[in-house]
Chain A
Amino acid sequence: MKNRLAVNIAGIEMKNPIMPASGCFGFGREYAQFYDLNKLGAVAVKATTVEEREGNPTPRVAETPGGMLNAIGLQNPGLADVMDYELPWLQQFGELPVIVNVAGTTTDDYVQVAERVCQAPNVAAIELNISCPNVKCGGITFGTDPVIAAQLTEEIKKVSSIPVFVKLSPNVTDVVAIAKAVEAAGADGLSMINTLLGMRIDLKTRRPIIANRTGGLSGPAIKPVAIRMIHDVSQQVNIPIIGMGGIQSADDVIEFFMAGASAVAVGTANFVDPYACPTIIDELEAKLADYGVDSITELTGAAWK
């Protein structure tokens, strides 16, 4: 029987279009205690920087109706640890494609990380993080200007032997302009959207709840924004989009495909339910059968025009 969930994005074969989103799944160790990660279409691991990063002070999360704000601040063990310890550990999951989210403060940082992670045998793609709203330098400063975003993409493409997805920020006026700029610079695909910049205030202390003051909003609350941006961008570019932003169910996945996504990432839902990804994969197979859809790829862009 044909696998109706199979997708191919920028040459990466995935048995289903579901991956945990970067920053919401660590390097997989925690969730591997709940289920076999081979069930996933791919896994996008925590942002990796050259040196270990300790991240921001706590509190780092606050809840909002239908969403959460976070300001982790790219805490990660650093490139050497990821190469020596985390990526080899993920090799036990057979052919599971690993997407490494690459972050940095300078162009050189990004280049250094990208160049190294390509060398790991199980890394299928790079996700260029130019959209983290929670770090003072780097991150979003690369993602809000089409020229700078394109320059960085070009530099990464020079050193990368694997596909490069650029993770776009929703915190811009014209996301289409940035998407087109990075496509022209050679990006193989896009990830969208990253979190929306937000804030909550504690009524007792009269201070922002998050120590960093602002945080990135994720969860079901941002889904309509993601759908709109993917719908707009996907009609203007010819590269695949990994859609994300509040996905909680198979219906959400189908909606993202109809907006123009070719694969999806599940983020905050993992925190609510550690079994979110495998549950959605099972539901999706059943839903497509119900709708008489032979291949989920048929749904990409179904809502265009």
Chain B
Amino acid sequence: MHLSLSYWLGAMDDLLSEFIAETHDMLAAVQEALVAWEADPSDREKLDVIFRFVHTVKGNCGFFDLPRLAQLSHVAESTLADLRSGKRSPDKQLIDAILAVVDRIDDMVSALGRGEELPEGSDADLIAAMESGDAAEKGGAETPVTPDAPPKPEAQDTAAPSLPAAARSIRLPVTLLDRVMSEISDAVLIRNELARHVRDHDLDPAVAATFDRLSNTINELREDISQMRMHRLEHLYTTLPRMVRDLANELGKKVTLEMEGGEVELDREIIELIRDPIVHILRNALDHGIEAPEARVESGKPESGFITIATRQTGNRVRITIDDDGKGIDADRLVERALSAGIIEKSDVSRMSQADKLGLIFEPGISTAAQVTSVSGRGVGMDVVRTNIHQLGGTIDITSDRGEGACIHISLPATLSIVPSLTVRVGDHRFGVPRSYAEEIVSARSDELTFSKTGDSTLVEFRGKRLRCIRLADALDIPGKPIEQSDLMVVKLTGGDLCAVAVDKVLDHEDLAVKPLAEAIMASNLYTGASLLDDGSLVLMLHVTGIALQQGLISETVRRKRVYAVQDDQDAAAKVAIPAVLLATAKGERRLVRMDSVTHLAKVESNAVRLGSGAAQVVLDGKILPLAGADIDAINGEKATILMLGDGESEIAYLISRVIDTVTIGDDLMPADEQGEVEGLVLLDGRATEVLDCHWLFARYARAGATKTDRTCVLDLGDQWTRAILRPLVEGAGYRVLDAADGHDQADVAIVSAGSPAPEVKAARVITLSAEDTEGEASDDTVHRYDREALLEALANRTQVSA
């Protein structure tokens, strides 16, 4: 009797916790549905989700003695039923009331989950809000439900489509999971110790076989438990739309939040750690970025702002970009604040690039909020966000076009997650390499390889392919075997280039749980973290891309987003800033070269360079290339630094002594008096600096016989922006540029500015450049002036001129 009673009570407890868990699960989905439904009240599907939620809560309340919850959900259910049948139409007041009900249900259920009694209070306010303007409902809602007569659970509403069957799941406390994780690690270590004993003693084969079975089971256990820790980013994303909606309402703004990439899986811990930074960035974007609807309309934007969160996983990094189309960031105001806060000196300002100025937003004590709002501007800001991201071994930076919005790029190591890896040995060290990079493994002693040296780089000929080959020992500055006695990993780098990395030995395939390391170690850009092996020893996980960059195997990817420098508040005319490289030539002159033309930097042995002013050449990667800038008598030192310039079809080398800096320059170029290597002068930090004329260099040095493109594009070269910006871009896309003023009668493409008269030329295609960013409805042939990608795409999609 007693036994059965306690059994029954226990079962009730289980039921209650199941109810609480189920409600919480549904809440997340409902939050999203609510926001979507509010945006589009005709969205029947979302309304159904909300109805089902309330219906389920109401039905469940019947089992438990929860009169308050039962009453509230009952009224909400009736209201929603009326909405579904069209008896009532959703207005803002009603939607707010429904949202408030869902919140209240959330509060109550959370309290139950904490084992508390339901909070005291009345829901009359919400019930009244739902019933206001309601055609009097059938009684029951007004009369308090007596606690001792809980309503019977209703049958499933036949109108509600039944829920899809979900996979069975249970919930576990995270601490328990962590304990299980560390216990399994210990079990593995003990297993390995046992394995040594098993090897050392001649054991009964039956015992050894049993041990092997145990060993395999432990391996499987460990894999499964590792999987338990993985979580889809959706878990974080589902909560955001509601937050954004509430905040936008509070601020009187309109905004649409778009999210993609929720299917990316990350370690649970990382997801928890990036939650706050992302929420903070969103709040900032809403508070300071997105303008009030009327201000947006005034500046020619749609009244509702856009915030996009995009997530991408590449190798073992996860990139999250949060983009808004608000008013952007006022770099000059940041500078002012930084000056008054003593973060920078007056003398620093002239040397700061636009990116540097924007970067000030991450400094402690800077807040651009003119007044402290309840949302942001309380001095705790982006500096904390940056610190958190850095501690995860990630990076964060920001780009912004004044008036056009801001974009925050976060790159995180997905390191806490399990990375399928190869372990390799060099000297006494062991390292891990993400398996995703390794295309193939070959022993250097194999007959199919032939090595050759050019300049200071080793090439390996492998199945008809020639690959650059580096020793990991060199890259890490540790002793290791000579290349000829190594194992080679053929590694596929970002961008698809293959290269070979020589290690003493490739040891094993392992799944490694990589943990980030201290910043002082991460800063070297050689490692993504470290992982514990089964025997308790540590391996460092290599940052393949970082190493390839340092070894000059790939060129630094250049962010070519244009930035604007605003002169001052009166003169808000945007001025284009062009990314450029400041270098010292072999003769020691300061010169600038546009970043667009630079493909990469290479170092070669001096003896691979043939000097001279006319026919200088350099041997690089097994090719002989024409070399410009080599009008000197001798190279100082053993190595020469070569800047590789490309125009999309041919490459030339330019001899320099070093790269000084990457800068941005304006387009107010003072043309040089005569055609030649120097295109003209620009002012850089108050100094007139010569800009290399890559165009002329290609014409002069690119190998004769290189087929010139037959595709033509007509531009209005009378316009300065077209000359300085558009022309190199169009040429880079493989077109020969014709000047509209010369009156050509035929071309493949013509590019005109919106509002200017149609070109007189008979072009197969006309691309129109608009000054405003068209609202996502850009046709193929109308492109925003600063949308480089769209423009290149439009150029690539050209239609053949029918002969």
**A and B: real partners?**
no
